[in-house]
Structure formats: structure tokens, C-alpha cells
Structure 1
Amino acid sequence: MASFFTKSVVASLLVAAGTSQAAPGTVLAPGYDIVFPSSKTSRNPLPYSVANSPYFPGPNVNGVKNEVPDRCTVQQAAYVVRHGSRFPDTGSYNSWVALKDKIQIALNGSDFEACDTLSFIKDWTPVLTNSSLQIAQESMTGWKEASDLGYQLRARYPGFYEDGNPFYVWANQYASPINKSRVVQTAQAFLHGYLYEFVDTYGTVVSVNSTGSVNAIGNSLGPSDSCPKFGATSSGGNNVTDFDATWTPKALKRINKLVRGNLTFTESDILFFPYLCGYESQITGRLSDWCGVFTEDELRHYAYSQDLHYYYNVGPGSDGPARNLFLPFLESLITLLSEGPGQTGIAADGSHFDIPRLIMSFLNDNQIAEMTSAMGIFDNEKPLPLNRVPENRLYNVAHFITMRGTVAFETMNCQVGSGHRSGNETYVRILFNDAVYPVANCQKGPGKSCLLSDYLALIKKKSQAAGNWNTYCNVTQPGHPEKVAGASFFKDLSLDFLTFVKP
């Protein structure tokens, strides 16, 4: 894992420095938004922060290059993006303060000493400088990640948009008031990168309130918010606890040997260290001292613990409705892509608007986990084991649920066959953090893509097997739709749970 990350960082730095050769037409946007440095104990610690890591391009775990296949052109694309790097929520920040207080008590006592990779804690303090302002908001790294993505996609798909036209992106409202939503803030930053000088005039964030109306039930970027059974289902917690019991006692013993005096770290304390590594680094723009506390092997186990958390709580191994929540969304989105570019929708005033060829939506980490569970990527994978870290596992959260993690659907028009048997077909390929992830049971197209019509049929089959969304979510709210719409907001801006936000 670290070897790949190290090589990738070196390669990206060479590109950034202009030392590599490239053909005319090569996209200038670098894959990495920031540098990923080494620490005293790890060649590349930040990715081990998993969902708390800044964005980085995913490794090619499926052996498929992410260049557009020969004889194919990308016609449309839809990106589902997690919000960018951010400041901690109130609960997490309270844990920072509690850890600082615990260390301070020891400092005030006698015979306190911290050595080696923990020697810094004598002077450590939480890095938030104005917590009442900063809590839960986008950080400077998050803003850079999102605006960089705007630049990257504008360069990647040069024919998708022309300056001077309205451009919409969609964001899960998530917080109230809207301007406090880090998801909306990410969408705004993206627009600045995509539209640059013209963003104020032509860019609009469509904020989707998942609880704003009965019409939003099963028809939003946060469908779990209107699914009562999701909130009543608990799964996965014991799996993480059982796995942590296989490695944390040894790590705890080693780390506590680095301090002397009235300070003894608990298991909960040390499991917070990699979290601090990721958060402090992206908040300050400098590698945190906490990134050098865990050994490489401990980081590897910590990262897998996070995989288990997502996999069994809101991922493919979860109980309850989580795995099915995004099926209506996927069916609606893939249907829209199947209709091809050049479609129009209903504007807020009842007139018409041009649906972008690049459909951008922004949401949260759990929603990424829920959606990817339903996409057919992991259908043939065995359940994640609880007693060891499996090598080469496909379900690796650090590869697609990083901060500003991306799931992309590209529809490609491809020339297939030869001679009198040649013709054009439309395929879809899926990328997680810019790495190709073939659909498990549909990958016979160019670059292991899936025929778009076949993929739509696959999603519809999954949806039919899951049953009625209202039934498996136990929706009883008066006036709820008999069949949820999934993602009608991409085509209808007049819906009563949408708000328009300027960048």
C-alpha cells in the first residue's frame, strides 16, 4: 500500500515540476491536490487516515488504465462527490480538547516525560484557532480540493461547457442554515474552479433538502434521512470492536511505553491518533506530528478497521436498507444518461433549462458508501474477515471515500467491430477517485466498460429484487409518493425542496 502511494506521489511531483515529457493535448491538471509526505514511522501516513484523508487518486487495483479506450469518446459524465476536507464537528472537537486536558494534567504533575515520536505532546494544542467560526466548515485544503476538481474536469471534458451559459451543480443541503453546509461549500468551491471569472454570473448550486417535503422522500442526495427503518437499524459495531481487539492491545502497550508520569493512554485515545493525523494536516497544510505515532503496521490495521466500519454499517455487508437506499437514485441517473446529451429540464420558473453534459452532485461519506454498495461493483466479493487484514481487497475505503472522494459515471460512444460488422454502441464506465472499477457482472465493453443499456437493466433488476422503497424503509408519512422518484431534481428545478445558492 505505502509503496504504491510513495511512487505515485513522486510521479505526480515530477509532473508538477515539469520534468516529464507529455504529448500535445495532455491535460495540465495534476492528479494530486497536495503533497503526501512521509513521517518518522511511515512512508506515506495520510492515506491511512482513510475517510479522514485528503483526496488522492486511487491506485489501479483492477489493472485497467483510466485513459479513454481507443475508438471511444466520452459523451456525458456524472460525478457524485463527497465534500472536501473540513474542520471537525463539535463532538469530535470535544475529543480533541479532552485529550489536550488529559495531557495537561500529566504535564502539571511530577516526573512527566514523553519521548521519541510522542515528545511533541508537551507543546501540542488543538489547531483550531476560532472554533466557533470553524467547526464543521470546509477547510482551506477542502476548498482547494474542490476548486482543483473544477479545473480538472473543465480541462478533462473541454467540449462539455462553453463560457456564458448557465451551469448548475447539486448538493445535499445537510445543514441549516445552508451557508453552514460544508457540502454546499464544496459545490461552491467547485464552481469557482470550473467557471473561474464568470462564476458569479453563470454558476448556481441547487441545494437539495432531503427532509424539505414529502416529495423529497427517496428523491434526494440523502435518502437515508427519509428512511425511518435506516435510523432504527444498528449493524456493524461489534465487527469493528472484535477486529480492534486483535491488534490494539499490543499497540497500546507500545505507545504507553513512550510516556512516563501521570499519563496512561486508553484504547479510545490511541484510535484517535490517525484521525488527528488526517485532520490536523489538512487544516494547517502541514504534516501533523500525530502522523508519526503509529507504526506502518498499526496504520494498516487502523485503516482496515475503518473499512469494516463502513462495510458493515452502511456498505455491502450492512443489515437493513442501507445497501438499497440509492437504487432509485441510480435508476433515475442512469436513465437520464441513457437519454443522451442535449436534454432539457424544467427550470424553477416553469420554463426550460439545459441539463449539463457534466452532472455534478455533492454529498457525504455515508451516502457514498450506500450508493457504491448498490452499483454492482462489489457483488462478487467475499465478506470482509474480522480476524485479519486481507491483501488486495477491493473494498478499501481509502480508495473512494476520502475527503472529496469521487464516483464518476462516464458514458462513452465507442466504435466496435470491424468492416461491415462495425458500428457504434454506448457504454458506461465507472471510476472511483479516477481509477476504473468495472461492474462485477458487466465488463465486456472497451476498457472493461458495460453496455449502458445492460447497466440500466442491471440496476432495474436490483431495484425490483429489493422491493418497494417505502416498504423496506417503513415510510408511513402522510402524502408520501407511492413510488419514489430517485433523482428527479436533475431534470426538474421547480421542486419544492430545492433552494438556489450563488457561489
Structure 2
Amino acid sequence: MLLANVIAVLASSSIAAAYTPNKQGSQYRYPFAQPYDQSFLDGYSVLKHLGGQGPYSNRRSYGIARDPPDACVVDQVIMLKRHGERWPEARTASKFTSSLDKIYATNTDNKKFAGALEFLNRWTYFVPEGRYVALETYNGPYAGLLEAYKHGADYGVRYGHLWDPTAANLTIPMFTSGFERIAMTARQFGQGFFGWNYTDVVALNIVPEESYLGANSLTPTCISDNDTAVCDNLTNYQPQFDIAAERINSQTPGLKLNTSDIYNLMQMTAYELNVRGFSDWVNVFSLDEWVAFGYTQDLSFYYCAGPGDKNMKAVGAVYANVSLSLLNEGPDKTGKLFLNFCHDTNITPVLAALGVSSPADDLPLDRIPFPNEYAVSDIMPMGGHLTIERLACNKTALSDAGTYVRLLLNEAVVPFTGCQDGPGFSCALSNYMQLVSGSLPDFISTCGFNESYPQYLDFWWNYNTTRAYDYDTQHPIPAGEGALTYEGTPA
């Protein structure tokens, strides 16, 4: 009874403390509550091991506030965005069905599946025939078209002050590379950003994905790429896939999955999430196996479309270099909003050119490194995007009044390497320009273009003002993947 009395006294004193006013006299706090959660229980998510195949997720940040620093306002935005979540391409889907056929072939006497594959007694394949191949998904929690619209709506709130909806004869260009799913992304983003004004103010410019455009492109490429040795010899093999194949085969008599099948099924899982939002296949594989799958994606992007290929820095220099002109000329002379849309492998070279997520050493081929600075799920998932903000800042205790630059990758602030002298770890524009311009290789000479090709990107200044391509008037019903001309028609 004595112990009970002590507990009662402690309890009553705790309750009293819980309702004691703080110094301001207006708030009441429970004294033992943690105002900031320390658990971080979502440290593991399969979304962080799907590379660029699965649904969008924000980049894991450095803890720097996403909103602009208190002393600053954003006066110009340059964004480069990948398309949203999509169905697989036809060639990829054929690999899925090939591995699935192996599994279904073991069920010759109509016995029910058991073990890890028990769900196949109810599961159905999720890729429709024909016309939706490689296009963005339109329903489910990770729908690509919904992601693009929501992203546009979010940026409409963040950057809506950069345009005046009441202005007469206003034209704001948006730029998309010439591929159907990219244009669909741009249109959905634009409707989210500009709302009812989308058709009245936006002039969607379609830039074909053709090498003859040289540097005047959202999808520049190297004609003479002589640094692909590692990329050409990469495989999708990881030793963890052997374990997965052995485990699954042992549970299904007659099944003989190999490591390629394991890779195919894991890749298929990512796309099922894009379409349905849930996949029973996630639980077929272990955490170690998912980490291994994610690393195959990291290797592919690093050595084939990132800093592991030295020519990619020159490819990314096209966009990085021209963005310097916009930032230097400023919003009053060139414009305040530059919204651009292309593929993942067009954005990772830009990151390489800017030195964002560029490891000091090449990714190892014989092991998975921790920490890994080049995790593609953080760098370029479906819907991934790089945003460059130009900031007009007042004087602070640590910095002078002036113009600063801030980089954001998938909504996480990424301080520019070697320059963090401004509010919110931004970089003074003058320093940013000097550091970037001094490190960029020449695209034309590196990639084998002569003077007959366009030598620089100029469509940001010389753009189409028609609203004819704001919607797909040629193909209101998706007809599958395909390249587009300037007029939005199939190439």
C-alpha cells in the first residue's frame, strides 16, 4: 500500500506539472513528451532500393529548411524534371512475362502455389496490352500523372509570386523534350501550377530528341562517346540474387529461376507499385536482396549516365552553362520561370556537371559501399527533379545583401560544394558562376560536333508562343511510347 501511495503522489504531481503554464502563460505541455520525435522508424523503405524504376520519394536531406531563408525571396526558378511514374517499356515487360512464364509452367496440375509465391493463387499481371506501354500511370497512390499535377500545384504555391495572373497578353513558355510521356508530364505539371490560367498563359514548346539539334536540346548526347568501357560490361548480377533464386526454387517443385529472373521480378515489382500502389512481390525478397537490387541501379546510372563516364560532365555542361546565363541576366531581363521536362539520363549528366552527388571515388563493382553517395533512388526516381533558385537576400549577420543561388534535388536543399557563404547555406551568385564555369568541359569538342550543328542552347530566348501544344490534340487517347516533333505529332 505504501508503494501505491507513492505512485499516486508521483502521478498527481506529474499531472500538475503537465498543466503548468510555460513562461508565456499560454501553452501547457506534458513534461516528459519529446517535442521532436527521435524514432525515425521509416529509416527503411523499399522505395529507397528501387533506383529509378519505382515511385517518387523526396531526397534524404541534410536538415536544411526547404523554404527560402528568412532574409531572402526567390526571384527566379530554373527546373529540370523527369517524367512521373509509368508502365514499363515493351522490351522490359517481355522480360517480366518470360520469368513469370517459368513460374506458371510449374503449375501443370493446377495445384495451388505455396510458400513465398502463395499470393500467385490470386495475383494477376498488371501491364495492359499495347497502348499504355511506357506511358505514365493514371490511377493508384503513385500515379505518374497525379504526381506531376501535385508537383505543379505545390510549386504553384511556392513560386506563384513569380507571375501575375492578371497581366494582359502574358506568355510563359514551358519546355519539354519530344517524347510522349515527357510531354504528358509537362502538361499535367502546368495545369497544377497555373490552374485555370494554364491554357491562357502557357506556351508549351516541344524540343525533339534528335542529335541534329546539337547543343540546342534538352536531350544532348555524345556522338563520339569513348568512355563506356565499364558501362558496356556492367551486369545486373549481385550474389544476393543467387540466394533468392535458391530459396524460391526450393519452395516450388520444378522451378528453376536464375539470377536474371530474380532481377526481372524485382524490377517488375517497382513497376507494379507505379501502377497499383502495392505489390505482394515486395515481401518475396529480403532486405539484403532489395539493397542489392538498388545498387545495380546505382552502378548503371553512375557509369552510363553520371560522373563515372567522363563525357557525361560535358553533356550536362550544356544545361549547366546556359543556366548561368539566365541567373546572371536575372529575372527582369530573361524571365522568372523556366520549367523544363526530359528523361532521367538527361538530368544525371547535369548533376555530374554541377558536382552534385559526385563521389570522390568510383563506385566499387565488387561490393556495396556504405554510405553510398550515389543512391539513384535519392537522385533520380520517377518524377525526380533538379531546381535552381535565384535568391534576392537582405544583409544578415553572416552575409551581405545580394544575389545568391540555391540547389534543390527532389525537394532537399543540396549545398553547393565549395560555396556555402549565403543565407541557408546558399552560394553568392558571383562565386557560383565562377566555380561552375571554371569546371565545365566543352560539349561540342568533347562530343564530336562540328560547326554544322547548333553550338549552344537558345530556345530559352527564342521560343514558340503558340498554345496549340498545351494539350495533345493529335492523340487524346494514349497510343504508346513514341517520339514527337516540334508540333507534337509522332516523329
TM-score bin, normalised by smaller chain: 0.7 to 0.9
Question: Is the CA contact (8 Å cut-off) linking 2:152 and 2:190 kept in structure 1?
Answer: yes
Q: How far apart in 1 are the matches of 2:270 and 2:402?
A: 43
Q: 1:159 aligns with which of 161, 166, 171?
A: 161
In the superposition, relative to structure 1, how do residues 195 and 102 fare at CA in structure 2: closer, same or farther (>3 Å)? same
**CA contact 1:46–1:291 (8 Å) conserved in 2:** no
Report the equivalent of 1:434: 411
Structure 1, gaps ≥5 residues long: 1-36, 175-180, 345-354
Structure-2 change in CA distance of 1:93 and 1:499 (3 Å): farther
**1:423, distance to aligned residue in structure 2 (A):** 4.0
Counterpart contact for 1:376–1:441, Cα < 8 Å: no
Shift of 1:378: 3.9
* Aligned residue among 316, 330, 333 for 1:343: 333
The answer on whether the counterparts of 2:80 and 2:386 sit within 8 Å (CA) in structure 1 is yes
The residue that corresponds to 2:183 in the other structure is: 184
Q: CA RMSD in A?
A: 2.7
Counterpart position of 2:22: none
User: What letter corresponds to residue 328 of structure 2 in structure 1?
Assistant: S
Moved more, 162-171 or 423-432: 162-171
SS of the counterpart of 1:235?
Answer: helix
**Segment drifting more, 109-118 vs 409-418:** 109-118
Tell me which residue corresponds to 2:149.
147
Distance 1:475 1:453, change over 3 A: same
What's the CA shift for 1:122?
Answer: 4.0
Q: Which amino acid aligns with 2:158?
A: R
User: Is the Cα contact below 8 Å between 2:81 and 2:384 reproduced in 1?
Assistant: yes
Equivalent of 1:265 in 257, 274, 278: 257
- Residues 1:480 and 2:473 aligned together: no
Pairing 1:223–2:223 present: no
Give the corresponding residue for 1:91. 91
Counterpart of 2:192?
A: 193
| TM-aligned CA distance change 1:59 to 1:103, over 3 Å | same
From 459, 462, 482, the equivalent of 1:489 is: 459
* TM value normalised by structure 2: 0.80
Counterpart residue identity of residue 270, structure 2: G
Deviation at 1:88, TM superposition (A): 1.2
Separation in structure 2 between the aligned mates of residue 82 and residue 231 of structure 1, nearest angstrom: 26
Structure 2 gap segments, 5+ residues each: 1-40, 472-491
**How big is the shift at 1:336?**
0.7
- State the distance in 1 between where 2:445 and 2:418 align: 28
Map of 1:118 onto structure 2: 117
Q: Aligned-pair distance for 1:76?
A: 1.1
Q: Give yes or no for the alignment of 1:368 onto 2:367.
A: no
Query: Quick one: which amino acid aligns to residue 208 of structure 2?
Result: N
Amino acid in the other structure paired with 1:103 = I
- CA–CA distance in structure 1, aligned partners of residues 226 and 176 of structure 2: 22
- Structure showing greater radius of gyration is 2
Note closer, same or farther for the CA distance 1:193–1:111 as it changes in structure 2 (3 Å cut).
closer
The CA deviation at 1:288 is 1.2
Contact 1:50 1:401 (C-alpha < 8 Å) held by counterparts = yes
Indicate the residue corresponding to 2:302 in structure 1: 311
Aligned equivalents of 1:116, 1:273: Cα separation in 2: 16
Give the alignment of 1:411-490 within 5 angstroms. 411-418=390-397, 423-463=400-440, 466=441, 468-476=442-450, 479-481=452-454, 484-485=455-456, 487-490=457-460
Residues 286-301 of structure 1 aligned to structure 2 (within 5 Å) = 286-301=277-292
1:68 paired to 2:63: no
Show the counterpart of 2:267.
275
Shift of the alpha carbon at 1:168? 2.0
| Number of residue pairs the alignment of both structures matches | 424
Return the offset for 1:380: 5.9
Rounded to whole Å, the distance in 2 between the matches of 1:380 and 1:279 is 28
Kindly state the Cα deviation for residue 134 of structure 1 after the two structures are TM-superposed.
0.5
Aligned-pair identity (%): 27
